[in-house]
Copies of this chain bind each other. A is one copy, B any other.
Amino acid sequence: MKKETIAVDMDDVLADAYGRIIEMFEKEHGVQLDKEWMKGKPYREAFPGDQLEVAQSYPHQEDFFDHLEVFPDSQRVMGELYERYDVYIVSAAMEYPFSLKPKRDWLAQHFPFIHWKRIVLCGDKSIIKTDYLIDDHAYNLETFSGHPIIYTALHNHNESRFERMNNWNEIANKFL
């Protein structure tokens, strides 16, 4: 029987990219950002005025993706999902040309069981056809033709249109 297919986003689903941006911003400016206040705010509100350009510049740095932390339990759960489903990594990486190889390398390091055939680095995700898409961005889920699942991130707390997963144990409970 054909397995069901799951597309899994990378930044802020497997890799703590937003956390790294906040960490870099706080370090550069000697400040502590109020994460409670940032909840539910898109980037342009969470980083008002000139701050946005600074925050958005970090992922353009060549070594940004080398430093990203793996989300808790994602390696174990992904390993189990990989056995039962056809799992694909689908990451909108094309905006950041320097990220392409580091992203591939990051996956090889932290998720070595994922075959290169199952990795997609793209721009928009509207032409991706899988049964499920787990993603933190509503704009990726809006155009998706399968079952969309939003993965909780600071910026998407107020989004209510999609089934929500708050952590990898919830994903395990749904799929395994």
Interface residues of A (CB under 8 A from B): 5, 7, 88, 90, 94-95, 97-98, 100-101, 104-105, 115-124, 127-130, 145
Contacts and interface: CB of A to CB of B under 8 A. Distances in A.
A132 to B, nearest CB: 11
9 contacts: A94-B119, A95-B117, A97-B101, A98-B101, A118-B123, A119-B123, A120-B127, A128-B129, A129-B129
Contact of A122 (B98, B121, B124): B121
Given A94-B121, A100-B121, A117-B123, 13 more contacts: A5-B127, A90-B127, A97-B104, A101-B101, A115-B123, A117-B124, A119-B123, A120-B120, A120-B127, A121-B121, A122-B122, A127-B130, A129-B145
Contacts of A5: 127
A117 B119 CA distance: 17
A117 B98 CA distance: 15
Contacts of A121: 94, 100, 120-122
The 7 A-B residue pairs with the shortest CB-CB distance in the complex, in nearest-first order: A117-B123, A129-B129, A100-B100, A94-B116, A120-B122, A117-B124, A121-B121
Contacts of A118: 123-124
Given A104-B97, A104-B100, A129-B128, A123 B120 contact: yes
